[in-house]
Amino acid sequence: MHGFLLRSDKMSNSFKPGSSWRGILVSSGHIGWLLSFYEALRQKFSCEGYWIDCPLAVSARKLIVQFFSLWGTIFPSDDGNTQKQHLLHLLSGIIAWIDPPDVVSTAIVNGKSESEFLDGCRALLYMATVTTVLVFDELLKSIRPYGTLSLLSALMCEVIKDLMASHTEEETWSWVARDILLDTWTTLLMPLDGSISHAVIPSEGIGATSHLFALIVESELRAASASSFNDENETDYLQASIAAMDERLSSYALIARAAINVTVPFLIRLFSEKFARLQQGRGFSDPTQTLEELYSLLLITGHIIADEGQGETPLVPDAIQSQFMDVMETDKHPVVILCGSIIKFAEQSLNPEMRASFFSPRLMEVVCQNFCSIKIFNMISYVTCNVSLIAQHSQSCHILLHTPTILKYV
């Protein structure tokens, strides 16, 4: 079926009955009856908060969500049209669980159960397992003036806003929702073959995705800044290693690459602001918060500009290579500018005074992680324009990585 590709790593989320079940599950109208039944419950008990978590409502929602994962020969070979109608029918039935995102999230903050919202997020995840990113985005446009990617971005934004406002290390509804929605993004944007190619998303989706990424970065920098004066032994954020954060950072990287023409200039501007703040406050203000923000920013950036894919050697993501093909001058290439600014910052660690003022072991670790995994150097090597600039940056990497002070962090 054209446009419907199931990811092998998500098989556990899928439901693949054979063609003999078509009449029972697809053509019989049973799904329509179930949606109508749940909506009737919803309307009748709308003023009674308890009903959302009663066994009947929970079971009905679980069954509805599971129907999103139907795939295979249960649908006829008609270029995916029957499956599209099936998904659209289900999506129309559950859209009120998650849309408008700001209204739904406000209701949860004010005491409404999050169960229905989380099931709606799971429905989008299941839908993502059986569609391509373009089909996924188009489905909602039949009933809304925007695509499903825009809705997914808006949902994620509301979840992140709640995480920023809650200031808690306890697992809340927004923690659970973030994980589900990040899984959805990863399912949509991760290549089916495990390569470093990227999913092409429509222009409307690019705008929504870039806005989401900016909010993600803001939330991570706020968390980093807030943790800067906490006791290391009591703060999960400071104890988290790069490996422990890797899965979330990899999802962030996929989102960033989906709108790479916007996100790279955004990162360049952020690095410039943070570096300038360090210099301006040198000797006058405590740099701890800014350094923690730089640590977080370096982690995020390292995942964006290089991708390990299924191998151990980082490679240049296809999104970067294809997006900036028209840039013929190296010194104007956005990724080279980004890498160059990070290298120039790292060069300051060669100055003993600067190293003592700014470069903590944690910051040096993440800088060297970028270098040693070739996440910066490898990017520069692939831009085949201005050889002198490449050589200049390559020499800087070589000097940094072979300096005794730096080697102890490698």
Q: What is the mean pLDDT of the chain?
A: 80
Closest to 32 in 3D by CA, of 8, 81, 67, 57:
67
Domain membership flag for residue 202: no
Q: Evaluate if residue 384 carries a pLDDT over 60.
A: no
Same domain for 181 and 229 = no
Q: Are residues 180 and 233 in the same domain?
A: no
Single out the residue in 146, 174, 189 at which a domain terminates: 189
Q: Does one domain contain both 397 and 271?
A: yes
The confidence score (pLDDT) of residue 27 equals 74
Please, are residues 132 and 4 in contact by the beta-carbon 8 Å criterion? yes
Alpha helix (H) residue ranges in 281-328:
288-305, 318-323
User: Which residues have CB under 8 Å from 96's CB, separation 6+?
Assistant: 42
Domain boundary residue, one of 189, 223, 258: 189
Domain for residue 403, yes or no?
yes
- The number of distinct structural domains making up the chain is 2
In a domain? residue 201: no
Does residue 36 sit within a domain? yes
Query: Do 22 and 97 reside in the same domain of the chain?
Result: yes
Domain boundary among 189, 204, 236: 189
Same-domain status, 158 and 236? no
Do 250 and 331 share a domain, yes or no? yes
How high is the pLDDT of residue 291? 87
**Structural domain boundaries, residue 113:** 1-189
pLDDT greater than 80 at residue 114: yes
The predicted model gives 83-92 an average pLDDT of: 96
Name residue, tokens 């296809």.
318
Do 100 and 235 share a domain, yes or no?
A: no
Is residue 203 included in any domain, yes or no? no
- Whether residue 399 is predicted with pLDDT greater than 60 in this model: the reply is no
Please check whether residue 207 lies inside any domain of the structure: no
- If one compares 230 and 404, the residue with the highest pLDDT of the two is 230
Say if residue 178 is in the same domain as residue 255.
Answer: no
Residue-wise over 79-116: b if at least 16 C-beta within 10 A, else e? ebebbbebbbebbebbbebbbebeebbeebbeeebbbb
What distance in Å separates the CA atoms of residue 225 and residue 319, rounded to the nearest whole number?
30
Q: Which residue has the tokens 């640590």?
A: 295
Q: Does residue 209 fall inside a structural domain?
A: no
117 and 49 assigned to the same domain: yes
Residues 401 and 293 grouped into a single domain = yes
163-212 residue pLDDT tens:
999 877 678 999 999 999 999 999 999 866 555 455 678 888 899 999 99
User: Do residue 51 and residue 171 come from a single domain?
Assistant: yes
In a domain, 125, yes or no: yes
Claim to verify: residue 30 and residue 131 sit in the same structural domain: yes
Burial of 235 (0-12, 13-18, 19+ CB in 10 A): middle
User: What pTM was computed for the model?
Assistant: 0.85
